[in-house]
A and B are shown apart, each in its own frame.
Chain A
Amino acid sequence: MWPMLKIRFKVLACCLLAHPGRNALFSLLAPLVLSSCMTARVEESKDASTGIGTTESVVVLASSYHTSNPAEDAFLNCITDKIQGGKRKMRVHPSAEFRDALYPWLEPRTAPRNAEALPALLERPGVSQRIRDRDIRYIIWIQGDTERTSGGGSLSCAAGPGGGGCFGLAWWENLSSYEATIWDLDGGIRAGKVSTDVNGTSVIPAVVIPLPLIARTRAAACKGLARQLQTFIVGQAPTG
């Protein structure tokens, strides 16, 4: 049955253009909104059946900077917040406390590089007991980042005794690419992987007053990844 791969592809923000005639302001802004479109792609690869008890928790950790590109703290905080809410909410154990409890085995230098090394970690003296004490079922390792992939245009501003203003148009494109690897501590295995790529173009057109239209790709990636993680863990076993 496993591994199973699901891919979701979604266009965000541009959907506003579907009804451009609703009001005058909307019609005016619609061409600009087009320029700040975001597209999102979410992938899920499931290696094993999942599920979580009502008292069980997950812990969200940044992957090691010795082996990958760990996600920013702000992104980890966002994921932690999002997966604790909604219909499929999960309990999240504080990551700092968990790292302290298992010190030095989850430091960037010493953390298991892959799920194959997980059984060896669980066999170390005291490790399994501390995990059981906290009722932690899954570790979610997050890696990835947001980077500017391109940009251009020109925007200049000037000010004088009579006033000031800006003229021009600047744009840039951001790509937020993040991946979550889920380890099941009950079985000592990798349960699967969820990843997301969100591409967005931000623009600042200016005729006297600059009007920034920012594509918040990282926030969109956080929302998409968190929702998919909830479905991955809390949802039913995969079909097909």
Chain B
Amino acid sequence: MIKRLYNTVLKVFLLASILVFTGCSRSVDVAADFPEPLLEPLPLTLGVRFPSDLADFTHTEDPSLEPEWEIRLGEANLRMFRAVFAGMFTNVVELSPESAANAVAGIDLIIEPRLEELEFSVPNQSGTDQYVVWLRYSLKILLPDEQLVSDWRITAYGQKDEGNLGMGSEDAMKAAAIKALRDAGANIAIGFANAPGVKAQFLSEPLSSDTSEAPANSTDTQNVADVENTI
């Protein structure tokens, strides 16, 4: 009888320990599919080079009074860029990180995206019911001979409410990250024509309305990029 009671107490203790320890860190693997943008593609052949730190991007942070968060965004980064570039350009060639673009014939420009920064906030920090993710990308735009045209900085934002009773925080963080990635894709797709140096170098003819109109805050982004380039 006592032994049975002891076993029951032990099982409850072990179960509680598992629950406590699994609650000490949160891990989010952001895997999602992204749609191609509904645009008239630019008549250009793009060579895109994904650096390994973009493909393997993982953000780990231990906010105060919060469990540690690990957000893996590498695969989602690649999927987002592949979908967005496929809709933006008539041809896309994926270059390996080491290869030179002039080894592939017919490339008009190269883009090398990097995810420079990921920040997030959770409801305990912000005092709201929102999980929020900010992303900052740098897109190096180069000529086929690797000459730098511009380093275009874009920012992206996504938020998701924590849902009923605050359950499923990993799901909410994942949804916020996916929204931020979609926002980045929208920013790139619509704002590319106005990115520093792009019009002068690659778009000699006027664009149709869908790509010439920049999103609401892309002007700010462009100005920042211009200033950074000037400096």
Contacts and interface: CB of A to CB of B under 8 A. Distances in A.
Contacts of B163: 72-74
A104 B161 contact: no
A103 to B, nearest CB: 4
Interface string B11-41: 0000000000000000000000011111110
B35 A107 contact: no
Contact of A101 (B35, B160, B190, B209): B35
Contacts of A126: 38
Contacts of B223: none
A73 B163 CA distance: 7
A105 B183 contact: no
A127 B209 CA distance: 13
B6 to A, nearest CB: 20
B217 A109 contact: yes
A107 B39 contact: no
Interface in B35-92: 35-40
Contacts of A108: 157, 179, 183
A125 B208 contact: yes
B161 A72 contact: yes
A66 B216 contact: yes
Interface string A34-45: 000000000000
Secondary structure dominating the interface of A: loop
Contact of A103 (B36, B40, B210): B36
A125 B161 contact: no
Contact of B40 (A65, A104, A123, A125): A125
B222 interface: no
Interface string B147-182: 000000000010111011000000000000001001
A185 to B, nearest CB: 15
B36 to A, nearest CB: 7
Contact of A104 (B129, B157, B160, B189): B189
Interface residues on A, range: 20 to 34
A107 B210 contact: no
Contacts of A74: 163-164
Contacts, number: 59
A105 B186 CA distance: 8
A88 interface: no
Nearest to B161: A72
B210 A109 contact: no
A108 B215 CA distance: 10
Interface string A140-160: 000000000000000000000
Contacts of B186: 103-104, 107, 109-110
B41 to A, nearest CB: 11
B196 interface: no
Contacts of B38: 101-105, 124-127, 130
B113 interface: no
Nearest to B185: A104
A107 B159 contact: no
A3 to B, nearest CB: 28
Interface string A110-143: 1000000000000111110010000000000000
B210 A124 contact: yes
A100 interface: yes
B213 to A, nearest CB: 9
B37 A103 contact: yes
B183 to A, nearest CB: 6
A107 B39 CA distance: 14
Contact of A100 (B35, B157, B160, B189): B35
B71 to A, nearest CB: 20
29 contacts: A65-B159, A66-B216, A72-B163, A73-B160, A73-B163, A74-B163, A100-B35, A101-B38, A103-B35, A103-B37, A103-B38, A104-B186, A107-B182, A107-B183, A107-B186, A108-B179, A108-B183, A109-B157, A109-B183, A109-B186, A109-B187, A109-B215, A109-B216, A110-B190, A110-B215, A110-B216, A124-B209, A125-B38, A125-B210
A-B pairs, top 4 by smallest CB distance, nearest first, are A104-B186, A100-B35, A103-B35, A107-B186
Interface of A: 65-66, 72-74, 100-105, 107-110, 123-127, 130
Given A109-B186, A109-B217, 9 more contacts: A65-B159, A100-B35, A103-B34, A103-B36, A103-B182, A109-B157, A109-B215, A124-B210, A125-B210
